[in-house]
Structure 1
Amino acid sequence: MTGAASPAILLLLVATAATTAAAAVRGAVPYDMEDADLDTAQLLRKYGYPVEEHFVTTGDGYILRMFRVPSSPKASGGSGFPILVMHGLLSSSADWVVMGPGEAFAYVLADAGYDVWLGNARGNTYSRNHTSFDPNSSEFWQFSWHEIGYYDLPAMIDHVLAQTGQSDIFYAGHSQGTTSFYVMASMRPEYNDKIRVMFSLAPVAYMNNLDSPLLQVVAQFVDQISFLTQLIGLNEFLPNSEFIQMVGDIMCNDDAFTQDICSNIMFLIGGYNPDEMNTTMLPVLLAHTPAGASSKQLVHYGQEIKSGHFRQYDYGMMGNIQRYGSIAPPDYDLSKVTAKVALHYSNNDWCADVQDVDRLYKQLPNCIGRFLVTQDTFNHLDFMWAIHARDLVYNKVVSLMSRYV
């Protein structure tokens, strides 16, 4: 990244660096700095799980890296049916394994006997390659979560189907992993038949009632941020780096008096829930997250908050006329999302408000249910890192899956 950013961008940069470091584990899991230096595959192997690495090329030339956990040393039976799991904004496949066996979602699924595939969207730590674009070029970063839904998910789904010989798969996504799914299912409706059930964790489509004050700032200044990022070439938003990891080691460890700052800034984005966060894991999480994203992904979310619509990227009046043939960008037609969808949401999610989830539910033609997390304080990031995520969310997902195998 080059140039200087506006106060809104700088605020979000600092906040997200600390926020995405917040983690939770069951009990007092010891802080192991070795885990900070291991990638997704190395973490899985460290704990005795088999793992395969796969590379998939999208229709527009992005090369994505996937990880497969085909079995578990703890599984006794199980269907071996495939499930694709997708991360949220600024995250990666590491978020589904970093909390360790018995706790992280990938391990829970594998232990239940499923064939687990962990996706990585274009531009994150594991998917920074292209058949023709240099990852350091502006051309590489001209995408939002629209392209992730339109190109990345179909490419990964087709690869899983080809590798497993199945005609359909399970899908689970968190936050942006849900947004991109709704893009795919509405824009490329033929993929609905390739999904047995989609599990939507903290679903994000409509954002009218979003409570996060930091994201509200982004929405308020989204036009200026969009202009500024184009003007100064701020193509990548918040890549992971040795500097961010160093900040986590120094400011967020158990002995640092600034550790509470890391926790409290997190709550400004996702919702306040200190009981579900083990701050001991902050340095490890900060070594893996943020994993990078394009600035257009953040801007696109800002547009959603400001407009109240779930629609394609807004290029301005002239740009929209040129691209879409209309002054405003077209809405995504959720009536075309015919795949079975299970909505998992919470009362204290400042990014996926209950009213917005209800609005989404009313427009999905084949929703098999809304499943409210029973803990009232459960927040947006708790779906990945909460102390009781397994009990409150993952076990419910596995139970639902067993009905459709």
Structure 2
Amino acid sequence: MSAFAWGIFCLFLFVHVQGGIIGEKYKQLKFHLKKSYVDYVERHANIEEDAILPVPQLVRKYNYTCEEHTVKTPDGYILTLHRIPHGNTDKYNASTKRPVVFLQHGILASSGDWVITGRKKGLAYILAEEGYDVWMGNVRGNRYSRRHIYMNPKNPEFWEFSWHEMGVYDLPTMIDYVLEKTNQRKLSYIGHSQGTTIFFVMCSELPQYNGKITAQFSLAPIAYVENMKSPLLRFLSYFKGPFGELLKLIGLHEFLPQSEFMAKLGDAFCRKDQISQVLCTNALFAICGFNIKQLNTTLLPVILGHTPAGASTKQFIHFAQGIRSGQFRRWDYGIWGNYKHYGSFRPPKYNMKNVRVPVYLFYAANDWLSDEKDVMRLYKQLGDPRASILVSDFNFNHLDFIFAIDSKRLLYDNVVALLNS
């Protein structure tokens, strides 16, 4: 074969082989692009669905058992509890009797807080896989607890409650039900934000409930709020105009702030980027703040689909009273109203020495609601404080305790370790 013919043959062979390789790589690339597109579409379809699914359906969608239970409080409110009785791995037998842990959401929130971040990051799922029987409470006025034996939410009287009533009626009723249903003497309690407030109220006013709690874990604890930085709550605490005008802005009975008012708040306190403006016109984020670095923006539609979940205007005004007075105490009716209700000119203070269960306080440096000074003041007054633990991320804020990308690593792993010990 001549050199020219040999060269043509080699060139043909090279092109043929390379063409086959390139063709195969093209097929692989096409496959991966198609798979990525399908994954993208499925992920976004999941997000849209997760944003509207109620908690039981959402939990079941991800192959976990979820039960729904209802209880009636002494003053007639009908509350809903959600339960994940076990995990879905083989680590624990489904019929095994498990230690009970009770999760209580914060203000404007619901049991959805503990599951909407997904199986790997939602605290309810994490605890279920650790072998716990997980119960999630819903207090009066939120989307799962908007019923009463004779009133409905259109009745102004329905909204005549603050977090005091949640502490003396809702929480004890739910805890008693859970202990009876599981045939256990005690449970562990994890609360976030207002979920800690109502626990402290319960143990102060009904100290017999100390004997029903193994330990309490406070995520962003709120009792004393003198140093609270939330712009909205500080605005409420120092509002000088007619009280009726204030109620027009934030809601007469149910907390339903006017969209125009929230938009102005967003302009005043938030950055001008699109995500910040969207969040600041949402009541929950406007009150609590947010941390862009720890916010999973892909998950944002799900978060906004489940929150705000409902609250009374009175809950917010009660916190605002605490900012103004610097005290953790019952509702302030004014001098003569206090005398009529309490027999004294000032509201009674909650006695934190009555909180005799082991308490662990987790707090963050960038929290608008749970300020370090207020947390330390609470810690010194508790009957059995075990630890005050600062989250290591100094940008961590109030809602990061629930929604942060790294909440498991920065917070939940520590909570679970203490719970297991």
Contact 1:110/1:116 (<8 A) preserved: yes
The residue number in structure 1 matching 2:327 is 309
The residue type equivalent to 1:185 in the other structure is: C
Contact 1:222/1:303 (<8 A) preserved: no
Q: Structure 1 residue aligned with 2:362, among 341, 344, 354?
A: 344
Which has the larger displacement, 363-372 or 220-229?
220-229
Alpha-carbon distance, 1:216 to partner: 1.2
Contact 2:47/2:301 (<8 A) preserved: no
Q: Structure 1 residue aligned with 2:68, among 43, 53, 59?
A: 53
The residue type equivalent to 1:348 in the other structure is: N
Distance in 2 separating the partners of 1:395 and 1:174: 16
The residue number in structure 2 matching 1:259 is 275
- CA 1:231–1:219 in structure 2 vs 1: closer, same or farther (change >3 Å)? closer
Distance in 2 separating the partners of 1:234 and 1:31: 36
The residue number in structure 2 matching 1:21 is none
1:395 and 2:406 matched? no
1:170 and 2:182 matched? no
The residue type equivalent to 2:418 in the other structure is: L
Equivalences for residues 365-380 of structure 1 within 5 A: 365-380=383-398
RMSD: 2.7
The residue number in structure 2 matching 1:141 is 159
Distance in 2 separating the partners of 1:185 and 1:83: 17
Secondary structure, aligned partner of 2:148? coil
Distance in 1 separating the partners of 2:280 and 2:126: 29
Alpha-carbon distance, 1:262 to partner: 2.4
Which has the larger displacement, 127-136 or 351-360?
127-136
Alpha-carbon distance, 1:163 to partner: 0.5
Secondary structure, aligned partner of 1:166? coil
Contact 1:143/1:297 (<8 A) preserved: yes
Contact 1:75/1:110 (<8 A) preserved: no
Distance in 2 separating the partners of 1:71 and 1:347: 34
Q: Which has the higher contact order (CA 8 A, sep 6+)?
A: 1
Distance in 1 separating the partners of 2:413 and 2:90: 15
Secondary structure, aligned partner of 2:396? coil
Alpha-carbon distance, 1:233 to partner: 7.7
The residue number in structure 1 matching 2:9 is none
TM-score (norm 1): 0.84
- CA 1:231–1:204 in structure 2 vs 1: closer, same or farther (change >3 Å)? closer
Alpha-carbon distance, 1:273 to partner: 2.4
The residue number in structure 2 matching 1:114 is 132
The residue type equivalent to 2:47 in the other structure is: D
- Structure 1: runs of 5 or more not aligned: 1-27, 248-256
Alpha-carbon distance, 1:272 to partner: 5.3
The residue number in structure 2 matching 1:217 is 235
Q: How many residues matched?
A: 364
Alpha-carbon distance, 1:238 to partner: 2.9
Alpha-carbon distance, 1:72 to partner: 0.8
The residue type equivalent to 1:47 in the other structure is: Y
Contact 2:367/2:397 (<8 A) preserved: yes
- CA 1:235–1:196 in structure 2 vs 1: closer, same or farther (change >3 Å)? same
Equivalences for residues 63-212 of structure 1 within 5 A: 63-74=78-89, 76-77=91-92, 80-212=98-230
Secondary structure, aligned partner of 1:368? strand
Alpha-carbon distance, 1:134 to partner: 2.3
Contact 1:226/1:296 (<8 A) preserved: no
Alpha-carbon distance, 1:155 to partner: 0.3
The residue number in structure 1 matching 2:291 is 273
The residue type equivalent to 1:235 in the other structure is: H
Q: Deviations over 1:370-403 (max 9, x none)?
A: 1111111110010010001111111111111111
The residue type equivalent to 2:189 in the other structure is: Y
- CA 1:234–1:51 in structure 2 vs 1: closer, same or farther (change >3 Å)? same
The structure with the largest helix share of the pair is 2
Alpha-carbon distance, 1:271 to partner: 4.6
Distance in 1 separating the partners of 2:62 and 2:250: 44
Alpha-carbon distance, 1:136 to partner: 1.4
The residue type equivalent to 2:50 in the other structure is: D
Q: Deviations over 1:13-43 (max 9, x none)?
A: xxxxxxxxxxxxxxx9986101112001011
The residue number in structure 2 matching 1:42 is 57
Identity percentage of aligned residues: 49
Contact 2:56/2:66 (<8 A) preserved: yes
Distance in 2 separating the partners of 1:224 and 1:302: 16
The residue type equivalent to 2:87 in the other structure is: S
The residue number in structure 2 matching 1:319 is 337
Q: Structure 1 residue aligned with 2:371, among 348, 353, 373?
A: 353
- CA 1:344–1:304 in structure 2 vs 1: closer, same or farther (change >3 Å)? same
Larger Rg: 2
Distance in 1 separating the partners of 2:240 and 2:417: 41
Distance in 2 separating the partners of 1:29 and 1:389: 23
Which has the larger displacement, 223-232 or 79-88?
223-232
Alpha-carbon distance, 1:258 to partner: 2.8
1:286 and 2:304 matched? yes
- Structure 2: runs of 5 or more not aligned: 1-42, 264-272
